[in-house]
Amino acid sequence: MLALTSHSCCVSVKLRNRLEEELNMRLTEFKHFIDEEMITVMRQMDAPSQIFDYLYLGSEWNASNLDELKKNGYVLLTACCITWSFI
């Protein structure tokens, strides 16, 4: 559903309302879950920004995505913690 929605005007309440229409059910009790999933998916859709040929500025998702690291090189991020699952 996020892939079909304009990212510039995408807010969780609009997404939840559309899901409620599609599923024909109330999703108010799932608000927190939908918000968290939406944030996760939106981060994954953001590409890192190139600083140098070998260095990118990106999100935690970019820095922990092995395929992206192999393709781009190093990803600089500012995050409090990250799990390096592929090391």
At 50-79, the pLDDT tens digits run 888 888 888 777 777 788 778 877 777 665
**Domain residue ranges in the chain:** 1-45, 48-87
Q: Among the residues of the chain, which ranges form H helices?
A: 12-23, 31-45, 60-63, 66-72
Decide: 56 and 62 in contact? Cβ < 8 Å: yes
Task: List, for residues 11-42, the tens digit of each pLDDT value.
Answer: 677 878 888 999 999 988 988 888 888 777 77
pLDDT value at residue 79: 59
Tell me if the pTM is above 0.85: no
Q: How far apart are alpha carbons 52 and 29 in whole angstroms?
A: 45
Q: How far apart are alpha carbons 27 and 16 in whole angstroms?
A: 7
pLDDT value at residue 73: 79
